[in-house]
């Protein structure tokens, strides 16, 4: 691959990484193209040689966010649902202390206001999430319940302003997920 071609790929990836971090933290509307490009050390004008529109960026950015969050999770070696729930439903994740945040939880109602391309992308990511939980639970129903407890529990814990109650909620959802796990021991 030629240098200038690689240059473009690197720039686009930098924009996507910046967008993934900003969108998961602040949502679609509160993030401007200016902010994303500044975070990627570029100016606004360069944006449109990589993306068609802000919505186009958003769709690609949530995929990037999901991939990064998945990589981060694998580094923690969580191969069962119980240990996975401990990091997913952690105070660090809720408080944005982790570098990569799960877009499924942090943008769950944000998606309703977006176009069909974004909704399709979100759904695709969710299906990947379900495949993972399904391989670790007894049934499809248990996999869906786990997903609701994980994603829904984290989103709710984030929205709640009462720290003690939010912590209780995280723990209760961890317990709920654990009880849905296949018992092999």
Binding interface with DNA (CB under 7 A)? 4-5, 7-8, 11, 31-34, 37, 41-50, 53-55
Concatenating the DSSP letter of every residue in 66-108 gives HHHHHHHHHHTT--SHHHHHHHHTSHHHHTT-SSS--HHHHTT
| Minimum separation from the CB atom of position 11 to a copy of itself (A) | 28
Which of the residues 151 through 170 are near a copy of itself (CB under 8 A)? 151-153, 155-156, 158-162, 165, 168-169
| Minimum separation from the CB atom of position 166 to a copy of itself (A) | 9
| Minimum separation from the CB atom of position 104 to a copy of itself (A) | 8
Interface with a copy of itself, residue 120, by CB under 8 A:
yes
Per CB under 8 A, the list member of 8, 12, 14, 27 interacting with a copy of itself is 27
The distance of Cα 48 from the centroid of its chain, to the nearest Å, equals 25
Contact between residue 15 and residue 36 where contact means Cβ atoms under 8 Å apart: yes
Rounded to 5 degrees, what are φ and ψ at 97?
A: -80, -25
Distance CA 16, CA 39 (A): 10
64 touches, from a copy of itself, DNA, none (C-beta below 5 to 8 Å by class) = none
120 touches, from DNA, a copy of itself, none (C-beta below 5 to 8 Å by class) = a copy of itself
Give the tokens for residue 110. Answer: 């944000």
């Amino acid at each position: 691959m030629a240098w200038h071609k690689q240059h473009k790929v690197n720039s686009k990836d930098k924009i996507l990484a910046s967008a993934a971090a900003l969108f998961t933290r602040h949502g679609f509307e509160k993030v401007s193209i200016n902010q994303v490009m500044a975070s990627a050390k570029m100016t606004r004008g360069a944006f449109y040689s990589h993306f068609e529109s802000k919505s186009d960026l958003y769709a690609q950015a949530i995929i990037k966010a999901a991939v990064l969050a998945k990589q981060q999770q694998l580094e923690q070696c969580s191969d069962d649902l119980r240990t996975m729930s401990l990091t997913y439903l952690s105070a660090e994740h809720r408080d944005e202390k982790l570098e990569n945040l799960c877009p499924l939880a942090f943008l769950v109602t944000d998606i309703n206001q977006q176009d069909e391309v974004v909704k399709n992308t979100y759904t695709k990511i969710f299906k990947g999430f379900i495949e993972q939980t399904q391989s670790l639970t007894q049934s499809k129903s248990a996999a869906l319940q786990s997903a609701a407890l994980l994603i829904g529990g984290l989103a709710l814990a984030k929205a709640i302003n009462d720290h003690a109650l939010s912590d209780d909620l995280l723990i209760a959802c961890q317990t709920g997920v654990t009880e849905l796990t296949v018992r092999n021991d």
